[in-house]
Amino acid sequence: MVLASPSPDFQADAKQNADRNDQPAESERWTIERSEDLYRIRGWGEPYFGINAAGRVTVSPKGDRGGAIDLYELVESLKQRNLGLPLLIRFSDILEDRLERLNACFAKAIARYSYPGQYRGVFPVKCNQQRHVVEDLVRFGVPHGFGLEAGSKPELLIALAMLEAPGSLLICNGYKDRGYMETAMLAQKLGHLPIVVLEQPEEVDLAIEVARKLGVTPCLGVRSKLCAKGVGRWGTSSGDRAKFGLNLPEIVEAVEKLRGADMLGGLQLLHFHIGSQISSIVTIKDAIREAGQIYVELAKLGANMQFLDVGGGLAVDYDGSKTSFYASKNYNMQNYANDIVAEVKEACEEKGCAVPTLVSESGRAIASHQSVLIFDVVGTSSQPNSVPVLPTEKEHLVLRNLRETYNSIDAENFQELYHDAVQFKDEAISLFNFGYLSITERAKAEQIYWASCRKILEIVRTLPEVPTEFEDLEQILASIYYINLSIFQSAPDCWAIDQLFPILPIHRLNEEPTERGTLADLTCDSDGKFDRFIDRLGVKPNLELHCHNPGEPYYLGMFLVGAYQEIMGNLHNMFGDTNTVHVQLTNQGGYAIEHVVKGDTMDAVLSYVQYDGDDLLERIRQASEAALRAGRIEIEEAQRLLGAYEEGLRSYTYLNV
């Protein structure tokens, strides 16, 4: 135990600290390379995201083909256009690049294995239904004959109206009623190639009946429940107990029914989907092998087989680890295409069957990278970090002991002094409880205690191995960063299924992030937080962040959010859609803001729950008239209140900071 010395030299200590901070050793100087490594940006971000010499995130929407945008500058210039945070930025060039890459990978695989057939992808609309996104995809897909996949009636209506190129595939999945079937089958006559995929045994009879009534020969597919199981979160999307698809006896029965109705020639496609974000290539291979055999057998039974649709599942490497961890994948897009092409070719050649046109329904792998969500930090809360200045009058002994402990902490004695600090802090609380210490004194004791912990943590961080008793220290001292965002609206999968997205500051990356923090959102819900972040291996509970200087903006970006998040977001606490912009590189080396989709106003979100803005305003007006008559409010005040209320209705649901 170290006892208080009569006159500890606090100023000398402060001076020493300042000197150390001013001149970091060469090896300690923070670099953007260290930020790249820390936030793993190369792992998940290449070739689209990087860090420039100014320590800011850059976006290269065309990947390796040149042109980069400083994300911080972009956000600043969007703010000048009255597009406040949180802000979703979509880079259309990234979307195009993803689509090109997928097609290029299949083209390469087809060439490599001399596959005597072609690839025709479709985009599953459910992954991102926003009109601007679907419009872009349809346009970028024209050179590749890229089509769309619908999983419901409303999505079918989108897909039908948006598809342009004649002969583009339109895969019709999901539950179907008579209306769905009729619409899909008649759409053939528009020049599209709608394929009605039978997913339920009842749909077989319905399809036959509707086709007869309309007098059309429909193009049909069957969705198979494979035995090969997916793994991870969506592992149960396949297998015998899967929600969708026909099991093998049902498929055989469907074939016989179609034969009986003289429609077996219409059965042209075999479909399967073993789940999303399949992180292991082995799972994909197993599924293709099984599906390849079913395909060949269907052809043998007399179906007019033309297409094998391998569904979605192509994963995104959210943590950049290139492993079979659920937030990653242990294969790349080329491996994926190679395995599909090679397996299908082998299955067909063995049985002397013509190879199918390969169809895939990649959603996540195409749409994720395009969108970046930017939000700002509105404040932080953390344990006190500085030692209170020395008072002139004599301090209580327990405070002096704490100060002395704080001052004496070094790399040799930190373990021993940690116990001292805990003991003095406990003593201070006891003294307070018995009335011997004032509230100001107790506050000081706690302040010095936390500062000591912080000092010890800094030593612990430099150790090759963290002693067990200090394992929680990082967590205990982590700050809470309050962010201008609703996780329920903008990243619902983080809340609902513990999904991980890369999150990092978009500037100050040439500065050491000295803080550790969790992120708390704007909702009054204790689940509205981010406390799981990507890490080298697994998940970490805190994110490395910079000290937030009040009055200065601190922007964070969440990346790879272009798939599923927008439509699944909800209005918890009435935080609405965020502002969205589409940014595209221009030929002149700059960028253009193509579309702006303003986020919800308060008026709009209130109307979702059947409030009428005018009606609410009228109630406030009447209440203020009554208050005026009763002399409780001045007319100017009443006008001001009404003005603020009315303006509120027209404004964004997020904080204007």
Ligand X SMILES: *Cc1c(COP(=O)(O)O)cnc(C)c1O
Q: Which stretch binds ligand X (CB under 6 A): 269-277, 461-469, 571-579, 645-653?
A: 269-277
CA distance 481 to 463: 27
Peptide bond connecting 116 to the previous residue in cis, omega within 30 degrees of 0: no
Q: Can residue 126 be called a binding residue for ligand X (CB under 6 A)?
A: yes
* Strands, sheet with 69-70, edge to edge from the N-terminal-most edge strand: 49-51, 57-59, 69-70
- Residue with the shortest CB distance to ligand X: 312
The backbone torsions φ and ψ at residue 449, rounded to the nearest 5 degrees and listed phi first, read: -60, -50
How far out from the chain centre does Cα 247 lie?
34
Q: Can residue 314 be called a binding residue for ligand X (CB under 6 A)?
A: yes
CA distance 232 to 328: 11
In the list 290, 361, 395, 600, the residue contacting ligand X (rule: CB under 6 A) is: 361
Amino acid, res. 416 = E
In the list 120, 229, 273, 285, the residue contacting ligand X (rule: CB under 6 A) is: 273
Return the number of the residue (397 or 497) whose C-beta is nearest ligand X.
Answer: 497
Burial environment of residue 635 by CB neighbours within 10 A (0 to 12, 13 to 18, 19 or more): exposed
Return the number of the residue (244 or 481) whose C-beta is nearest ligand X.
Answer: 244
Helices (H), 191-280: 201-214, 248-260
DSSP letter assigned to residue 235: G
Q: Can residue 364 be called a binding residue for ligand X (CB under 6 A)?
A: yes
Q: Which stretch binds ligand X (CB under 6 A): 308-316, 475-483, 517-525, 622-630?
A: 308-316
407-446 positions binding ligand X, by CB under 6 A: none
Q: Can residue 147 be called a binding residue for ligand X (CB under 6 A)?
A: no
Q: Can residue 121 be called a binding residue for ligand X (CB under 6 A)?
A: no
Q: Which stretch binds ligand X (CB under 6 A): 94-102, 188-196, 310-318, 575-583?
A: 310-318
Angle, CA 281 vertex, CA 275 and CA 284 arms, to 5°: 45
Q: Can residue 245 be called a binding residue for ligand X (CB under 6 A)?
A: no
Helix (H) or strand (E) holding 160: helix 153-162
Q: Which stretch binds ligand X (CB under 6 A): 27-35, 38-46, 311-319, 570-578?
A: 311-319
Q: Which stretch binds ligand X (CB under 6 A): 201-209, 358-366, 508-516, 607-615?
A: 358-366
573: left (phi over 0), alpha (psi -120 to 50) or beta: left
Per the listing, tokens 């074939």 go with: 255
Q: How far is the CB of 363 from ligand X (least distance, A)?
A: 3
Return the number of the residue (71 or 219) whose C-beta is nearest ligand X.
Answer: 219
Return the number of the residue (86 or 313) whose C-beta is nearest ligand X.
Answer: 313
Return the number of the residue (277 or 479) whose C-beta is nearest ligand X.
Answer: 277
Q: How far is the CB of 151 from ligand X (least distance, A)?
A: 6
Return the number of the residue (84 or 363) whose C-beta is nearest ligand X.
Answer: 363
Q: Which stretch binds ligand X (CB under 6 A): 120-128, 322-330, 339-347, 369-377?
A: 120-128
Contact between 218 and 189 (Cβ < 8 Å): no
Helix (H) or strand (E) holding 492: helix 492-497
Q: How far is the CB of 89 from ligand X (least distance, A)?
A: 21
Contact between 445 and 437 (Cβ < 8 Å): yes
Among 648, 578, 482, CA closest to 86:
578
Return the number of the residue (361 or 577) whose C-beta is nearest ligand X.
Answer: 361
Q: How far is the CB of 315 from ligand X (least distance, A)?
A: 7
Contact between 591 and 541 (Cβ < 8 Å): no
In the list 141, 312, 492, 569, the residue contacting ligand X (rule: CB under 6 A) is: 312
64-83 positions binding ligand X, by CB under 6 A: none
Contact between 271 and 222 (Cβ < 8 Å): yes
536-595 positions binding ligand X, by CB under 6 A: 563
Q: How far is the CB of 447 from ligand X (least distance, A)?
A: 50
Amino acid, res. 361 = E
Q: Which stretch binds ligand X (CB under 6 A): 287-295, 305-313, 319-327, 333-341?
A: 305-313
Q: How far is the CB of 364 from ligand X (least distance, A)?
A: 3
Note every long-range contact of 155-158, with CB atoms under 8 Å and residues 24 or more positions apart, other chains counting.
155/125, 155/126, 155/129, 156/180, 156/183, 156/184, 157/183, 158/125, 158/129, 158/134
Q: Which stretch binds ligand X (CB under 6 A): 36-44, 82-90, 356-364, 633-641?
A: 356-364
* Per-residue contact flags (x/-) with ligand X for residues 165 to 204, judged by CB under 6 A: --------x-------------------------------
Return the number of the residue (126 or 572) whose C-beta is nearest ligand X.
Answer: 126
Q: How far is CA 454 from CA 477, 541, 653, in A?
A: 7, 18, 37
Q: How far is the CB of 175 from ligand X (least distance, A)?
A: 12
In the list 86, 124, 218, 569, the residue contacting ligand X (rule: CB under 6 A) is: 124
The backbone torsions φ and ψ at residue 119, rounded to the nearest 5 degrees and listed phi first, read: -115, 135
Q: How far is CA 569 from CA 427, 487, 494, in A?
A: 49, 8, 11
Cβ count near 76 (within 10 Å): 13
CA distance 76 to 200: 52
- The SS3 call for residue 19 is helix
Return the number of the residue (127 or 170) whose C-beta is nearest ligand X.
Answer: 127
Count of residues in contact with ligand X, rule CB under 6 A: 19
Angle, CA 336 vertex, CA 140 and CA 501 arms, to 5°: 75
Q: Which stretch binds ligand X (CB under 6 A): 24-32, 122-130, 442-450, 623-631?
A: 122-130
Return the number of the residue (69 or 288) whose C-beta is nearest ligand X.
Answer: 288
Return the number of the residue (278 or 399) whose C-beta is nearest ligand X.
Answer: 278
In the list 43, 145, 151, 221, the residue contacting ligand X (rule: CB under 6 A) is: 151
Count how many residues are written for the chain.
Answer: 657
Q: Which stretch binds ligand X (CB under 6 A): 48-56, 361-369, 380-388, 424-432?
A: 361-369
Contact between 243 and 275 (Cβ < 8 Å): no
Among 378, 380, 400, CA closest to 388:
400
* Cβ-based neighbours of 76, under 8 Å, separated by 6 or more: none
CA distance 152 to 164: 20
Q: Which stretch binds ligand X (CB under 6 A): 322-330, 357-365, 393-401, 438-446?
A: 357-365
Helix (H) or strand (E) holding 42: helix 41-45
In the list 230, 313, 320, 569, the residue contacting ligand X (rule: CB under 6 A) is: 313
Q: Can residue 329 be called a binding residue for ligand X (CB under 6 A)?
A: no
In the list 92, 276, 407, 579, the residue contacting ligand X (rule: CB under 6 A) is: 276
* Interacting residues toward ligand X by CB under 6 A: 124, 126-127, 149, 151, 173, 273, 276-277, 311-314, 361-365, 563
